Structure 1
Amino acid sequence: MRGLGFDPRTKLILLLFCVLCTMFAPSLTYEVILVCLIAVFALLSGRYRHAVTGIAAYGLIYGATQFSIYELSGTWQAIFAAFLGLVNKVYPCGFMAGIMIATTKTGEFMAALYRVHMPDNFVIPFAVMLRYLPVVKEDWRYIKDAMRMRGISPSLKNICLHPVMTAECLYVPLMMAASNTADELSIASVTRGIENPAPRTSLTDIKFSFKDFGAVTVILLYFAFGLLVRGGIL
């Protein structure tokens, strides 16, 4: 089902404040609520599978974090607590970035960035990156299918038991495909006139609406709440 259709600039603002919220998070509970807010945003954007899988994956991370804090001790507790602490910081940002990329076309991003007068030195690399990620994901799927045909599964077990073969069959083709993809995208971008200095036009209607102001207001208030809690005011 089609979601509300938020402005691309709203998504960029939400991603920025997700990073700030995780940087200044006063507690693990604060981060849990942040992930729930991102899941609500995914639901409003029509990405129900993203919301469910995102919450389920974070539930596993949260459970592992609680286990490392209360059930482990000594060196193992320090190792797992440090690692999972980093995962808890990165996960909300990755969750939000995934929703942003899945719900926004490259042309919409470019139109939004040009609307706020961002320079070409930022817009062009950003647009190429957005085009690049889906192609690499597709190449990854093809490489895994080819590996399975040879009886090699790109699993953690095979990485541990047959590291050289796994690297040869997985990472080397992926790096070669990524290099070729980068060249193809660069040629395609130049062919489409991406270097043209003239002002660009767009058929995409980019504008802030009430739902965008509402989403930005919620994340701003939640960020301010985290700062107040961190400062001991609340």
Structure 2
Amino acid sequence: MNFLKVKVDKKRQGFIKLDPRTLFLLILFSNIAIFISSSIYSEFILMASILLLCACCGILGFSLKMGATYFIFVLLDILISRYFGDSWMIYVAVGIRFIRKVIPAGTLGAALIQTVRVSEIMVSFSKLLVPRTITIPLTVLLRYFPSIGEDRRAIKKAMAMRGLRGGFFMHPVRTIECFYVPMMMSASRRADELSCAAITRGIENPKKRTTLTEVRFRTADYTCMLCAAAVTVLCIRGGSIW
């Protein structure tokens, strides 16, 4: 019976396994909380909660990178606002602040792509009775970005083997020739390949889809949704509980 055994991607295994609907709801809560919040402390609590969740989902390295990125943008925002607040740099601070507020939701979106399979997303959407006109483009889009990331890493390695290091600033012409042109060709090819693969796997089949992984709400899902609601209320109240 060995042929019935299904291989599980160990990179996606963590302490908890969240339902795709829970992650979409968390993205919605984080967007509401981060743009309504008027306190930097409540933003810290929100971002720390998201990073802890990503670590529990099995993507510790990614959570550390996003935490460091968020800290850098916060530091730049504080420095520019404090020491260059009366100059044109204040416009730069506005852009940095906007990127800083997008990072929490972007982190959850990346966690969704890295920890949830496309088939699980389609099954969860079918349970919510989401129209297929929305489900199919969204699932293809979620599969498209990881494929482009794989091509990007392969092109970067090929450039490194040829001694092209340092990026656009060190080799502007060669970078355009050896990186951007292959990336554009790869993006077009990947789009055609994903479309053919989706049709071959019966993505347009009107019947109910099945999956080898059970998609349902668990204790971790309810706990995350309650914590997300509490953090959202905290952000709306400006960091004050009472």
TM-score with structure 1 setting the length = 0.89
Residue 188 (structure 2) pairs with residue 171 (structure 1): no
CA distance in 1, matches of 2:161, 2:15: 39
Residue 58 (structure 2) pairs with residue 49 (structure 1): no
Task: For residues 91-132 of structure 1, give each alpha carbon's deviation from its aligned partner in whole angstroms, at most 9, with x where no partner exists.
Answer: 111111111211111111111111111111111111111221
Residues 156 and 27 from structure 1, CA distance in 2 versus in 1: closer, same or farther, beyond 3 angstroms? farther
Q: How far off its partner does 1:41 sit? A: 0.8
Aligned residue pairs, count: 230
TM-score with structure 2 setting the length = 0.86
In 2, are the aligned partners of 1:111 and 1:204 still within 8 Å (CA)? no
Q: How far off its partner does 1:156 sit? A: 4.9
CA distance in 1, matches of 2:241, 2:154: 53
- Match among 188, 194, 198 for residue 185 of structure 1: 194
Letter of the structure 2 residue corresponding to residue 168 of structure 1: E
- Match among 101, 107, 110 for residue 119 of structure 2: 107
Describe how 1:223-234 pairs up with structure 2 within 5 A: 223-229=232-238
Aligned to 2:3: none
CA distance in 1, matches of 2:219, 2:86: 51
Identity %: 33
CA distance in 1, matches of 2:103, 2:221: 23
Indicate the structure with greater helix content. 1
- Match among 30, 34, 38 for residue 42 of structure 2: 30
Tell me whether 211-220 or 1-10 shows the greater mean CA deviation: 1-10
CA distance in 1, matches of 2:36, 2:137: 29
Q: Which runs of 4+ in 1 moved over 6 A?
A: none
In 2, are the aligned partners of 1:14 and 1:219 still within 8 Å (CA)? yes
Unpaired runs of 5+ in structure 2?
1-12
Residue 72 (structure 2) pairs with residue 60 (structure 1): yes
In 1, are the aligned partners of 2:14 and 2:57 still within 8 Å (CA)? yes
* SS, match of residue 38 in structure 2: coil
Q: How far off its partner does 1:136 sit? A: 0.5
